[in-house]
Amino acid sequence: MDTEALKQQFQELYAEAVAHGLDPNDAVAQALTRMHEKSSVQEPATVHDHDMTDSGNQVQPPPAPMAPAPASVLTLEMLQSGSLSMSALQKVVYEVFSQSETLNTACFPHHSRAEIQEGLAWLVGQPSLANTLGNALNAWVTQPWTNSKKWTSVESLHQFFVMLEHPLLFDPDYRSIVGGMVKLMYYLNDDMKAAMAAHWRSLGADDLHRLLDVFQQYITLSLVGAELKMDTIFAACDMIRLLVEINAASPFASYDAFYNDAANTELNLLQDYVKSAIYLTHKHGRISSRELSDLSFCDFAFILDAASKSKILQFDAEYQQNVRVHDSIRSSLAEADQHVHPYLVLRVRRERVIEDALQQLVQVATSEQLKKPLKVKFIGEEGVDEGGVQKEFFQIITRQLLDPNFGMFTADDETRTLWFNCDSYESTTEFELIGVLLGLAIYNGVILELHFPSLVYKKLMGLPVTLADLEASQPALGKGLRQLLAFEGDVESVFQRSFELSYEVFGQVKTIELVPGGKDMAVTTANRHEYVAKYVEYVTTTSVAQQYGAFHRGFHFVCGGHALELFRPEELELLICGSPELDFEALEEVAHYDDGFSAESQCIQYFWSVVHAFSLDEKKALLKFCTGSDRAPIRGLSNMVFVISRNGPDSDRLPTAHTCFNHLLLPEYATREKMKDRLELAITQSEGFGLL
């Protein structure tokens, strides 16, 4: 008997043994014994070391070059009819589920999704089939991943469409099967991945959520488990990437549903950063091809939350700063008096803060210098900047620059969000300064109280702006344009518009043509979509090209680079403006006490009792009273320094605060009722009162 015939015989005997519930090692032994009994002329084929699987060291049968035709095609009708004995069914199940070829051709062919789900549920409900099915699937997923490259027809994806319906994919015991499956899926060629994504697009939101949960759970269990297999973890991330792309076109989940908690809590972000394309580009100027296990979570940024991304941004800044410092030292060895300063130091007059800051910042030659830790000195005032002075600097300068009365921005009457004043008399340098200040605030962990609409952050990330973005920032204007698009009558006669835009500036009406000859071009039912698109483009881009362009330039001079590309617009806003999620329990845990107070002081216990009973609006008001912002740092209130000091004995005085230092000064009120009364009065009726 030739080698191929021996392999075929071994395959059949092994499958029969496993189908009868034997352990794979025992099944191999029995198959070899039976082959020996059947042949007195030729010894059976030897099972070599490379037939050992990577997981569990269980011997698997050598794969045949071509799958034999299964004894039967597995159908729902076959299962429900009971036409096969259990031993015969075990053999069919192993034959069908152990190889890709039979999974594609003989596993519930031409069945609907509902029928496949019903068939799989029937199979897993049979205790006598548990070992057989598990062994078969282990054989399937341990095939060489290079086989994936050979699958070039949509029919070859049937194996994955079936297995992704398996009801036990959430069972931790199936983790190795899920890992092997996603690795096979990862190595599909691009056309096959596109075909798989096209199939997923036909699914409903609940089914897409289930797919996402399967991949997320696999990543989570793998990261917290004893053995890390980064190749299969990143393969699962790549499957989530396909779902992210589907979600971008037809949303079925919020962007934060793609975060993985284990990746954001268990991961060593610094180690991940040095494996990332961001770091490798800095270090080598290029990215060579990388193996799957050498990838980084930065390659799948949707997995990381805004707090993790902010840490990576900081790592990236520190790396660039270190490179710049080392370069400076090397280039100045011959100049003994040359000194590389570790900080970016600004010396400003309080009454000339914009002028002084602008004058010094324009002299900074490189973006790496702007990434240095900031120290601010108010000329003529004592005090070392340990964070409070720089925070006060940001509060003063942004309040002045963003004040609509200053003329650089206008405020929408309804949303109170700010937009660039296209008729501003200020030079573009001031707009560039605001962009630089945003970047400085990011790298120094300062929360800014900005009231920019979301479209500003989309533009900073280079994303296109839509009517929905304009509608969110200027609801009245957006509503009018949307009504124009929805109108079912004669647009031209009812609206009587041309391709022009008019607005009032300094008491005079200014009219702009949206296209050449726009004043003579009527808006009709046929061209109204073009009109709205031109209108949105003019308001959000063309009219403010100089002002926004300078702002954009300043921001990217500080923050530009691949690390920023990790962020979504919503995450960038969180990074700059802080998080609206307020966990005062966490704040209590990290609070410090001074001047006679301690966590056990009766007054402090009154304070936290009152605060925890506050409504969300009251908590926001208290946070703003104490810190100058009603938002938490991007990493939460647990990452904020908060100090409560005793400010004298019991009295009727209101609490006061050093907002620049997150420092609350509290008289030692004698009762809880008095604490509640004094706090509420301070935070609700005296904005700016008592702030030091």
List alpha helices for 253-375, DSSP H. Answer: 261-266, 269-274, 277-284, 306-331, 353-361, 367-370
Q: Are 651 and 674 in contact (CB under 8 A)?
A: no
- The two counts, helices (H) then strands (E), for the chain are 31, 10
**137 CA to centre of own chain:** 33
Phi and psi at 691, nearest 5°, equal -85, 125
Identity at 583, one-letter amino acid code: D
User: What is the per-residue burial (b if ≥16 Cβ within 10 Å, else e) of 657-675?
Assistant: bbbbbbbbbbbbbeebebb
Q: Are 431 and 547 in contact (CB under 8 A)?
A: yes
DSSP state of 188: S
User: For the chain, what is the radius of gyration of the CA atoms?
Assistant: 33
Measuring CA to CA, which residue among 150, 229, 241, 162 is closest to residue 194? 241
Q: Which residues pair with 374 in a beta bridge?
A: 344
> Sign of the CA dihedral 453, 459, 460, 462?
positive
CA 333/CA 398 separation, integer angstroms:
40
Q: Out of 107, 422, 559, 660, pick the active-site residue.
A: 660
Q: How many Cβ atoms from other residues are within 10 Å of residue 43's Cβ? A: 10
Contacts of 626 (CB under 8 A, 6+ apart): 642, 657, 659, 662, 663, 664
Catalytic, 422? Answer no
Contacts of 216 (CB under 8 A, 6+ apart): 240, 260
| Helix axes 190-201 and 230-249, enclosed angle (nearest 10) | 50
**Tokens 């284990």, residue?**
262
Distances in whole angstroms, Cα of residue 670 to Cα of each of 368, 625, 644, 679: 53, 22, 16, 13
Measuring CA to CA, which residue among 465, 453, 441 is closest to residue 414? 453
CA 552/CA 550 separation, integer angstroms:
5
User: What is the per-residue burial (b if ≥16 Cβ within 10 Å, else e) of 216-235?
Assistant: bbbbbbbbeeeeebbbbbbb
DSSP states along 460-507: HTTPPP-HHHHHHHSHHHHHHHHHHHH--S-HHHHH--BSEEEEEETT
Q: Count how many residues are written for the chain.
A: 692
At 139, list the tokens: 């054989």
CA 247/CA 359 separation, integer angstroms:
46
CA 150/CA 66 separation, integer angstroms:
13
Ramachandran area for residue 445 (φ above 0: left; ψ -120 to 50: alpha; else beta): left
3 state DSSP class of 74: strand
**Tokens 């920032």, residue?**
473
CA 89/CA 95 separation, integer angstroms:
10
Q: How many Cβ atoms from other residues are within 10 Å of residue 506's Cβ? A: 6
Q: Which residues pair with 691 in a beta bridge?
A: 657
Measuring CA to CA, which residue among 61, 131, 154, 126 is closest to residue 99? 61
Q: How many Cβ atoms from other residues are within 10 Å of residue 203's Cβ? A: 16
Q: Which residues pair with 107 in a beta bridge?
A: 74
For residue 243, the surrounding DSSP H or E stretch is helix 230-249
Distances in whole angstroms, Cα of residue 433 to Cα of each of 85, 548, 659: 80, 12, 24
Residue numbers annotated as active site: 660
